[in-house]
């Protein structure tokens, strides 16, 4: 899966948010991966901030369900709105 440069940081931020929420929930990568129906290795690459690993919507929804969070809330937790980013330094 090819990731455009424009979305690179968004993908990284989402992976970091997933990892933070997983740890907040007291879950190991193995536990979340099992609950989400995926391999621990794939989850590990999604969470790794030095890797840009995209995921299908199916995988994303499975992770959100396993974390017991609304998918939109997971996206919002990972992203600064463009209006905030563009207003920085003004």
Structural domains for the chain: 7-75 (1.10.260.40)
3-class DSSP assignment, residue 78: helix
Q: How far is CA 33 from the centre of its chain?
A: 13
% of the chain at pLDDT higher than 70: 83
Closest by Cα among 61, 83, 85 to 73:
61
The more confidently predicted of residues 10 and 19 is 19
The more confidently predicted of residues 50 and 70 is 70
Q: In this predicted structure, which of 16-20, 22-26, 52-56 has the lowest mean pLDDT? A: 52-56
The whole-chain average pLDDT of the chain stands at 85
The more confidently predicted of residues 48 and 2 is 48
| Predicted local confidence at residue 2, as pLDDT | 64
């Amino acid at each position: 899966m090819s990731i455009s440069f424009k979305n690179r940081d968004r993908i990284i931020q989402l992976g970091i948010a997933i990892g933070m929420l997983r740890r907040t929930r007291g879950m190991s990568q193995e536990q979340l991966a099992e609950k989400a129906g995926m391999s621990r290795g794939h989850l590990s690459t999604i969470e790794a901030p030095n890797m840009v690993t995209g995921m299908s919507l199916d995988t994303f929804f499975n992770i959100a369900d396993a974390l017991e969070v609304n998918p939109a809330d997971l996206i919002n937790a990972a992203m600064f709105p463009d209006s905030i980013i563009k207003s920085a330094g003004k």
